[in-house]
Amino acid sequence: MNAARPGGSVPGRQYINRNREAGHWRLYEDYFSDDPTYGPTFFHRRFVNGLFLFVRHFCSSSWVRLILITFFRFRMARSLFLRILQAVEQHDNYFVQKRDRNGRLGLSPLQKITASFRMLTYGLAADAIDDYIRIGESTAIESLKRFVKAIIEVFGDEYLRSPNNNDTARLLAIGEQNGFPGMLGSIDCMHWKWKNCPAAWQGQFTGHVHEPTIILEAVASHDLWIWHAFFGLPGSHNDINVLHRSHLFAKLAEGHAPKVNYTINSHNYTMGYYLADGIYPQWATFVKPIPSPQGNKRKYFTKVQAAMRKEVERAFGVLQARFAIVRGPARFWDQDTLGQIMTACIIMHNMIVEDERDAEGDHHFDEMGEVVTVSHRPTAELQAFLQTHQAITNRETHSQLRDDLVEHLWEKYGGV
């Protein structure tokens, strides 16, 4: 069944002459002209401006606010915005400006995409941007849905990819530099409150948060790039349930993941690992903290592991700061739309990470380790698949790896 198309004017409905053309030119002159009213600094503050809302609401200390604003740039440059605008306009004809039956120009792509951005970054209701952008509520919602879908289709393959050969080499080099050879990032889960969860579903979507939520599982690296995102399971699940349903280790089990080889404390390992908290299982692909550590070596390891594991939590915080829509309660009714919104926000988060890194000329994370190669063999036979899966979930390897890292960290940093 095809979705109903907009029917245009309806007899008896109030018509509002919003003067769309004036709204477009005001927006253009304010931010996008050669000599805009509000320059690059204001653009940075007002496009992907969630940082300032986050700081204002959650940081009472003035010096903490200053540190956050000084050291974290959670905003979007105009060049990146224009790149996204051009790509989305070329991808979806909906964003191309057209004329109606009377020859009047409709909404410009600048208006539709700016409206979508403001709903994503400020968490605004659809009708809260009408007075400035001159766009109706239903059109703003339609623009948002089409915008996030276009972002996924245009940029998803590049900015939500699994680590390729060069990515894996760089991640391994970063892990080695921070005292964790073989580390590929940190893993954790985040809950997004679902305000408009249907009443019939609230039981299965309500967990320890005591309100309906949807879970995002993510892996992030030291520069806050999100390499893995699995979204959509009800909030009644815990991190282990989510892990067993996600695709994080699918390629590794099938034999298509990059080969990772490293040595710690004279022991050789062939699989990378992720830093995780205590709830995760004792698998060879996880390094967890030591509960109630005894002795200086184990205490030091637990302290460093906890500090490094915060990278994924920092990534969640930055994602929510950039896009207030995923910090506040979700107001859409269907899960598909919420999934596309979350995925699009993660993609644009990664785009900003890349853009800010390039703009600052930061080559710290461009140092490459030994380039690894991806296997292109056919899918493994059942026996090989089971053997690989058994290696992933091996408890003995998990314990040995953690003990080796305890010795490695103490030998390298503990005495300093």
Of 98, 128, 157, the domain-final residue: 157
Question: What are the φ/ψ torsions at residue 108 (nearest 5 degrees)?
Answer: -80, 160
pLDDT at 183 over 90: yes
Q: What pLDDT, on a 0 to 100 scale, did the predictor assign at position 155?
A: 96
Integer distance in angstroms from the first to the last C-alpha of the chain? 68
Do 198 and 130 sit in the same domain of this protein?
no
Question: Which residues in 71-84 are b (16+ Cβ under 10 Å) and which e?
Answer: ebbbbbbeebbeeb
Burial tier of 172 (Cβ tally within 10 Å: 0-12, 13-18, 19+): buried
Alpha helices in 10-77 (DSSP H): 20-27, 40-46, 50-58, 62-71
Do 366 and 252 sit in the same domain of this protein?
yes
Mean pLDDT of 232-258: 87
Do 271 and 402 sit in the same domain of this protein?
yes
Q: What pLDDT, on a 0 to 100 scale, did the predictor assign at position 1?
A: 44
pLDDT at 308 over 70: yes
Which amino acid is present at 274? Answer: Y
Question: What whole-number distance in Å separates Cα of residue 146 and Cα of residue 151?
Answer: 9
Residue 377: strand, helix, or coil: coil
Confidence of residue 58 (pLDDT cuts 50, 70, 90): very low
Residue 12 lies in a domain: no
Q: What pLDDT, on a 0 to 100 scale, did the predictor assign at position 153?
A: 96
Question: What whole-number distance in Å separates Cα of residue 122 and Cα of residue 129?
Answer: 11
Of 135, 157, 179, the domain-final residue: 157
Do 175 and 150 sit in the same domain of this protein?
no
Confidence of residue 11 (pLDDT cuts 50, 70, 90): low
Question: What whole-number distance in Å separates Cα of residue 207 and Cα of residue 193?
Answer: 11
User: Per residue in 119-166, pLDDT tens?
Assistant: 998 888 888 887 778 788 888 999 999 999 999 999 999 999 988 888
* From 30-34, 60-64, 222-226, 232-236, the region with the lowest mean pLDDT: 60-64
- Report the share of the chain in percent with pLDDT over 90: 48
Confidence of residue 65 (pLDDT cuts 50, 70, 90): very low
Do 75 and 219 sit in the same domain of this protein?
no
Residue 151 lies in a domain: yes
Q: Which residues pair with 218 in a beta bridge?
A: 188, 229
Of 122, 157, 192, the domain-final residue: 157
Cβ neighbors of 150 (< 8 A, separation 6 or more) are 87, 88, 91, 92, 95
Cα separation values, 403 from 138, 302, 352, 384, Å: 58, 11, 37, 28
Residue 264 lies in a domain: yes
User: Per residue in 285-302, pLDDT tens?
Assistant: 999 999 989 999 999 999
Residue 13 lies in a domain: no
Residue 225 lies in a domain: yes
* From 68-77, 333-342, 347-356, the region with the lowest mean pLDDT: 68-77
pLDDT at 372 over 60: no
Mean pLDDT of 237-244: 93
Residue 372: strand, helix, or coil: coil
Match 């800010």 to its residue by tokens.
356
Q: What pLDDT, on a 0 to 100 scale, did the predictor assign at position 4?
A: 52
Q: What pLDDT, on a 0 to 100 scale, did the predictor assign at position 60?
A: 43
CA angle 158, 164, 165 (to 5 degrees): 145
Do 228 and 347 sit in the same domain of this protein?
yes
Question: What whole-number distance in Å separates Cα of residue 148 and Cα of residue 191?
Answer: 20
Mean pLDDT of the chain: 81
Residue 7 lies in a domain: no
Cα separation values, 226 from 41, 154, 156, 207, 332, Å: 26, 18, 12, 25, 24
Q: What pLDDT, on a 0 to 100 scale, did the predictor assign at position 339?
A: 95
Cα separation values, 43 from 27, 36, 129, 330, 397, Å: 12, 10, 17, 26, 50
Do 45 and 114 sit in the same domain of this protein?
yes
Question: What are the φ/ψ torsions at residue 402 (nearest 5 degrees)?
Answer: -65, -40
Do 152 and 261 sit in the same domain of this protein?
no
Q: What pLDDT, on a 0 to 100 scale, did the predictor assign at position 103?
A: 76
Residue 10 lies in a domain: no
Full domain range(s) for residue 122: 20-157
Do 177 and 123 sit in the same domain of this protein?
no
**Per-residue DSSP letters for 273-328?**
EEE--TTS---TTEE-PPSS--SHHHHHHHHHHHHHHHHHHHHHHHHHHH-GGGTS
pLDDT at 364 over 80: no
Do 390 and 361 sit in the same domain of this protein?
yes
Residue 236 lies in a domain: yes
Do 175 and 137 sit in the same domain of this protein?
no
Do 377 and 238 sit in the same domain of this protein?
yes
Report the number of distinct structural domains present in the chain.
Answer: 2
Q: Whose CA is closest to 55, among 256, 322, 340?
A: 322
User: Per residue in 210-223, pLDDT tens?
Assistant: 899 999 999 999 99
Q: What pLDDT, on a 0 to 100 scale, did the predictor assign at position 398?
A: 94
pLDDT at 48 over 80: no
